[in-house]
Every structure is written in structure tokens, then in C-alpha cells.
Chain A
């Protein structure tokens, strides 16, 4: 019968269609919260990248050396950075408070007379660098672990999953703190390679490692579903080799999960980094991170709260933005199932 060879409906137009990623991007662009978050993140990142410009050309200050004897020009007057204390006994010295002037200690100084604003920007570079790198590393490792465990199944899955369970059983911060204390006190020596204790690779690797189980578990679950899916069976029936099935059929369907995890893991990594740095086992002095600045501000919390509040606010803003962005990305990537045509 020749009638059978005509298409069942003539709805196939000649225009090439948008891929699932482009469709998702279109939905994401319409998600106002995600777009605002993206703008905020971009702004914070650019500001932090411009830290040297601010320190050298605007504030003319060195945020890494002690400046207790320094002065600053304020309203045409030379003002001491360390000022007599304003407590009733006038004992000791307090750093200058926020002046809200771009070039002259806008957020005040810390107990060593360093510009908090400049340190905030430099600290942000480290905090964001560690957060993004740790999240990326964590997701890459988790993707490998999750895909191998989920696709291979059997003994391989059992071994990998139990390892993940053991790591999961240890509280994340406790685990990270234990590892950090060891590596920060001694540095890290792996064969011929030595990593100095102040190298940022140490907190990056530690934070990535402790969060691997959190990211690997959803990936493994997704891969196990995919492995049993009919299109993977179909690929096997077509004679497609296993490694090609993983790369061409499994991986593209896991990337959605990975992409949605990315902002969430970045937020978690940022908070972990701040916690470790606050405990002096993350970023090492004189380098700064938002966590170390909060620690600097701890002793000044009643007299100069801005030293601790400013980096705290920065953390809150970035974590919030990352979470909203993550929500938007999840919404955007889930729609594929919504326009699943039937019949």
C-alpha cells in the first residue's frame, strides 16, 4: 500500500529546530530571579577581579601589610588610621570606622590598619576562586564516580557506593577541618610534588573532596535510570559499544543534572571555604578571603562591626544569588519533559 508511505501528519517544517539547551536557555532568560542573580554574581565577580585597580589607583593602599602608623586625608585633614578608643576609659586604639568615601577607607580599617574595602575585594577573589574551582572539581569527580558506579553496577557500584557512604557518614565540616588541619600544618607531599601549606589548591581539593558524595549520589541515580532506559537498550541492540553509549547517550542526559548542581555546589563550597578560613585553616595570612576577614573582625565586633559584617553580607548575597540561579536553572532544564508530545 503506497498510502502508508505518506507522513501521518504534515507538521514537519523545514526550519531546523532549537536544541534542548537553547530551549532551556530561553526559559532561563525569562526567569527574572535567575537573571537578577546572574547580574549580581557578574557584578561581584568583576568587582573582585578589579581589586588591584581599586587598591593601587583609587585607594592607594596595600591591603596586605600592617599600617597601624598610617594616616589618611579626610576632608582636607590628615587623620590617624588608628584612633584613640572612644570607650569611656580611652584605653587602646580603634581602627578608623567606615568613611563611605571611595578613596579613603570606605568601610574602615581592620585592627592592623588595613583597608577593609580593598581586603574585601581581594578576599572575594580568593573566596570565589576557591568556590568555583572546588565546585567544578567536585562535580567532575562526582560525575566520573556517579557514571561509573551507575553504569557498571555490580561490584564496582557496591565498592564506590560504600566509599561514598562512609564519607557521607562523617559530618562535612568535621571532615574538612580534619583534613585541613593536617595539610595546613605540614603542607602536602605527594611523591615528588610538594604543595605549600598556603597554596589555594589545598582548600580547593579538600572542599571538592568532602562534597563529592553529595553530588555523586544524584548522578548515580540518574545514570541507573538511564541505563535501564529503552534508548540505551536500543543502542545496545544497534551494536553501539559501551564507552560510546556512555559518551553519546548517558552523558548528554546527565549534564542537565550536573548543570543544576553547579550553582548549589558553588554556594556550599563558598560557605565551607569561609568556615575553614574563619578557623585559620583555609586561606592563610596575609592573603585574605571573606572568611579570614570575618575572623579579623571578630575582635572588633562591638567597636567596628563593619569589618565582619561586610564580608558576611558578601557571602549571603552570593550564596542567595547562586541558590536562586540554581532554582531557575532547574526549572529551565526540566521543561523538556513538559513538551513531550504524545500520540
Chain B
């Protein structure tokens, strides 16, 4: 098995929220992404999946645990040392408008990483190098060259997301963390952008961590899937296994909640979830999902389940997984 490109080890992220209360956005998350994989990170909003994405790229500094990128522990690196490593790991944000400085032209925005970092030979890139690279990137993401002279507000959401992707790819990174990159787009545009992501992965051999709450999108792009609930991973495994034969009741409920054009036989569909996600400031004891779980038993209320392999290569944090065992 190849060494992971990026690895999270027991990541914890806590925020003080006043009056001595602590919000635990990540509670001991471990995962590894190997080169060429697309890890889909799913869960309801507030489950910590965006925080995890930001911690992986050290845009946020985890409270505890380690982040290892390409064999280097980047958890505590000062920004100055981290900067050269950032060339290898890039982010695409959800809000395509907010992530582009409205006062700068597209060409200027995409050129910024090229100006800041030196090229492979340790030299500053010349204006001609940068112009050539910009032209290449525009072709890569399917935008006309004329777009370089324009401002962000002159584009549609889909076009702006292409601009964000072009900027993220400017330094030829190996890892791209995409934080809900299509959830703010129209459905018809979503498909185009997801296709662009898949096409770029094939062409450039990229590795993705793809954060999303839309299972349909995750199913389309992911090779592996991690399902998060209240700051912890509850199920992690191959996309086919997890999405077609979910072992965790929460995964099953998420899949059942996807509106399907094909009507499933009633027996195959998990019952819808009741209630709201508990507050991450005071997570329930035992299994964090027991308050909403249709198959919760006494043990679930006191004994937190660890992630373990039910026998088919995936990992599930459940005392009573639905399949396998």
C-alpha cells in the first residue's frame, strides 16, 4: 500500500465559546488519503467536515493531534516554513465570490501564487512565464483568455468556481481540498464543475478531499467516503461499499434522505431521522448518535463505540452495524 499523501491523526479542534464552554468541532478524527484517491467527506452542516478540511491544509491549527502531509508533520510548523509546502496543497472554497478579492482582476488573482512562489529551479517566475502559465490554466478550466482582464463580479457562479480552480491549480499541487465547491451552484452548473474536477484529476493525477453534504455529488466523484457526525467519523470506507451497503445507521439515514428518481421498495429504505443534531458544546454521552438512532440500545447510551472493521475493509463506529460483522 502506498504511503498516504495526507494523514490526520487524532485531530481535535476546540473553540472556546464563552463562559468556560468548549465547542468541540473535531473530536479525535483520524484518516489517511493516498495519492490518486478522492475522499468524499459527508455529513450534515456543523458536523466539522469543513473544519477538518481547513485543518488538513493548516488554514486552522488543530488543538491536538497531528497532520502529516507527504511525510512531513505540518501540525505545528510556523507559517514561514509551511509556505513552500503550501504549493503542494490547495483549497477550493464554497463561496466562489467571497474567495476572490473583488478589487483585483482575474489574471492578477491567478498570478498571485505564481509571483509569491519560486519555480522548480528556485528562480522567480518572469512575467512571460506567468503569462504563459495563465493561458495554460484558462484552457485547463475552460475559460476564454479574455477572462483574465476582468473582475470577479463579471462572472457567473460556475465561471467563478472555474477561476478558483485555476488559481488552486496554478502551482500544480498534488492535493486539492474542495470545501463544498458546488453546493452554492445551480444543479445544472454543479454537474459541469464536478465533471471538471473529475477530468482534471484524470489529466493531472490529483488527489482530492471533497467536502460535500450532497450524497449524489459525493457518489459521482469519490473513491472513498468518510461520513462525519458531530465532529467524529462514524463510517469510512470505499465509496461503493459505504454508499450502497451502509453499515452505520447514520449513513443509512443520510442515503435514505436523498431524493431518488427511482422509488426504492419500502423495506430497503431506512426510516427518516428524528430530531436535531445535538449541540457540539454538550455532545451526548456514549455513542454520539444514540439520541437519533433507530436501533439504539442501552449500551449505546453509555459506551462510546470505537471505529473498527466489521470484516469488509471499512471502518464503522457502531456497536450494532447494519451489515458485515
Chain A positions within 8 Å of B, measured between CB atoms, are: 1-9, 11-17, 19-20, 229-231, 233-242, 244, 248-249, 252-253, 336, 339-343
Chain B residues within an 8 Å CB radius of A252: 101, 103-104
- Let me know if B59 and A236 touch, CB within 8 A: yes
- Let me know if A12 and B146 touch, CB within 8 A: yes
Residue in B57, B146, B164 whose Cβ sees the most chain A Cβ within 10 Å: B146
Residues 135-168 of B, flagged 1 when their CB comes within 8 A of A and 0 if not, give 0000001111011011101111111001010010
Further pairs besides A12-B146, A14-B146: 14, Cβ < 8 Å? A5-B199, A7-B143, A7-B162, A8-B189, A9-B156, A15-B146, A17-B154, A20-B102, A235-B112, A236-B79, A238-B171, A252-B101, A341-B156, A343-B186
Q: Is B309 an interface residue (CB 8 A)?
A: no
- Let me know if A240 and B195 touch, CB within 8 A: no
Q: Is B95 an interface residue (CB 8 A)?
A: yes
Q: Is B91 an interface residue (CB 8 A)?
A: yes
- Let me know if A6 and B142 touch, CB within 8 A: yes
CA–CA, A292 and B259, complex, Å: 78
CA–CA, A9 and B185, complex, Å: 14
- Let me know if A8 and B112 touch, CB within 8 A: no
Chain B residues within an 8 Å CB radius of A244: 116
- Let me know if A12 and B113 touch, CB within 8 A: no
Q: Is B100 an interface residue (CB 8 A)?
A: yes
| Interface-located stretch among B63-71, B80-88, B273-281, B297-305 | B80-88
Chain A residues within an 8 Å CB radius of B21: none
CA–CA, A16 and B91, complex, Å: 28
Chain B residues within an 8 Å CB radius of A231: 98-101
CA–CA, A8 and B192, complex, Å: 8
Which chain B residue shows the least CB distance to A23? B151
Residue in A7, A242, A339, A343 whose Cβ sees the most chain B Cβ within 10 Å: A7
Q: A7-B159, A341-B154, A341-B156 are in contact. Are A234 and B99 (CB under 8 A)?
A: yes
Q: How far is the CB of B263 from chain A (nearest CB, A)?
A: 28
What are 21 A-to-B residue pairs whose CB atoms are below 8 Å?
Answer: A4-B196, A5-B196, A7-B142, A7-B144, A8-B189, A12-B154, A12-B159, A17-B151, A229-B98, A231-B98, A233-B93, A234-B164, A235-B112, A237-B91, A240-B112, A240-B113, A242-B79, A248-B101, A253-B102, A336-B102, A343-B157
- Let me know if B59 and A1 touch, CB within 8 A: no
- Let me know if A19 and B98 touch, CB within 8 A: no
Residue in B86, B91, B101, B167 whose Cβ sees the most chain A Cβ within 10 Å: B101
Q: Is B222 an interface residue (CB 8 A)?
A: no
Of the residues B103, B171, B198, contact of A1 by C-beta under 8 Å? B198
Beta-carbon contacts under 8 Å, B258-298 to A: none
7 smallest CB-CB distances across A and B, nearest first, come from A4-B195, A239-B86, A5-B142, A230-B98, A8-B158, A16-B149, A252-B103
- Let me know if B97 and A20 touch, CB within 8 A: no
CA–CA, A244 and B116, complex, Å: 9
Of the residues A3, A8, A20, A240, contact of B116 by C-beta under 8 Å? A240
Q: A8-B158, A12-B150 are in contact. Are A238 and B99 (CB under 8 A)?
A: no
Q: A252-B104, A336-B102 are in contact. Are A230 and B154 (CB under 8 A)?
A: no
Q: Is B90 an interface residue (CB 8 A)?
A: yes
CA–CA, A13 and B157, complex, Å: 17
Chain B residues within an 8 Å CB radius of A242: 79
Chain B residues within an 8 Å CB radius of A7: 142-144, 159, 162
Chain A residues within an 8 Å CB radius of B117: 239
CA–CA, A17 and B104, complex, Å: 12
CA–CA, A9 and B98, complex, Å: 21
CA–CA, A240 and B117, complex, Å: 8
- Let me know if A239 and B116 touch, CB within 8 A: yes
Q: How far is the CB of A237 from chain B (nearest CB, A)?
A: 5
CA–CA, A11 and B158, complex, Å: 12
Q: A1-B198, A4-B195 are in contact. Are A237 and B156 (CB under 8 A)?
A: no
Which chain A residue shows the least CB distance to B198? A1
Chain A residues within an 8 Å CB radius of B142: 4-7
Q: How far is the CB of B147 from chain A (nearest CB, A)?
A: 5
- Let me know if A238 and B167 touch, CB within 8 A: yes
Q: How far is the CB of A11 from chain B (nearest CB, A)?
A: 7
- Let me know if A340 and B93 touch, CB within 8 A: no
- Let me know if A341 and B153 touch, CB within 8 A: yes
- Let me know if B59 and A253 touch, CB within 8 A: no
Which chain B residue shows the least CB distance to A236? B59
- Let me know if B153 and A339 touch, CB within 8 A: yes
Chain A residues within an 8 Å CB radius of B198: 1
Q: How far is the CB of A90 from chain B (nearest CB, A)?
A: 70
Q: A11-B156, A239-B116, A244-B116 are in contact. Are A17 and B98 (CB under 8 A)?
A: no
Chain A residues within an 8 Å CB radius of B147: 12
- Let me know if B112 and A238 touch, CB within 8 A: yes
Residues 171-207 of B, flagged 1 when their CB comes within 8 A of A and 0 if not, give 1000000000000011001001101101100000000
Chain A residues within an 8 Å CB radius of B90: 237-238
CA–CA, A169 and B87, complex, Å: 48
CA–CA, A233 and B57, complex, Å: 11
CA–CA, A262 and B144, complex, Å: 40
